[in-house]
A and B are shown apart, each in its own frame.
Chain A
Amino acid sequence: QKEVEQNSGPLSVPEGAIASLNCTYSDRGSQSFFWYRQYSGKSPELIMSIYSNGDKEDGRFTAQLNKASQYVSLLIRDSQPSDSATYLCAVYGMDSNYQLIWGAGTKLIIKP
């Protein structure tokens, strides 16, 4: 069974520090990877997508992908209290062009 694993947390990070969120996936053929942020009581919103090995930066966010290790991470620099949320990792499996496989999410708490 294809799986996406995340540490459920909570991960507590001081304001201004770097938050590091990790995700591993089981389907070696996966090609597309997504990080969504979900505030309590709200729906998931896209933060980053990444398709190639290496780093992808967008503002304070950096996604890192290592397909050999089946590992994708999200770094948040200069963490703000407004970054406190649950971060969901989602992956398209090799044999599906539409069905995302989701992790259960990591709860991030930024302490002022």
Chain B
Amino acid sequence: GAGVSQTPSNKVTEKGKYVELRCDPISGHTALYWYRQSLGQGPEFLIYFQGTGAADDSGLPNDRFFAVRPEGSVSTLKIQRTERGDSAVYLCASSVQGTRGTDTQYFGPGTRLTVL
């Protein structure tokens, strides 16, 4: 079946602009995760959805970052007033349940965000 998809694959924007990044998880996966990855680092946790609700948003760096998953499937990560430090690869992952401590997380191809 289809894997996790993310759009756009690349996004270049100017400082201060608003961006939206989209994630379409594997069909039937109730858990969805957003990560951010900088060069030479492992993925950095941002937010976790269980169904439609954000069960843990403790990784969001500040209130410029917000994410939604209104119907329990597709999710959008929204970044307001972008800053150069927001430049990174934004990864989305999904898993079957996210409640057992054993689920494999499957990653999408990522969105490379560059803030000029």
Contacts and interface: CB of A to CB of B under 8 A. Distances in A.
Nearest to A95: B101
A82 interface: no
Contacts of A90: 42
Contacts of A36: 107
Nearest to A34: B104
B62 interface: no
A98 B46 CA distance: 12
Contacts, number: 63
| Chain B: interface size category | 20 to 34
Interface in B72-116: 89, 91, 95, 98-110
A59 B95 CA distance: 24
B65 interface: no
B31 interface: yes
A42 B48 contact: no
Nearest to A97: B101
Contacts of A34: 104-105
Interface string B49-75: 010000110000000000000000000
Interface of B: 31, 33, 40-45, 48, 50, 55-56, 89, 91, 95, 98-110
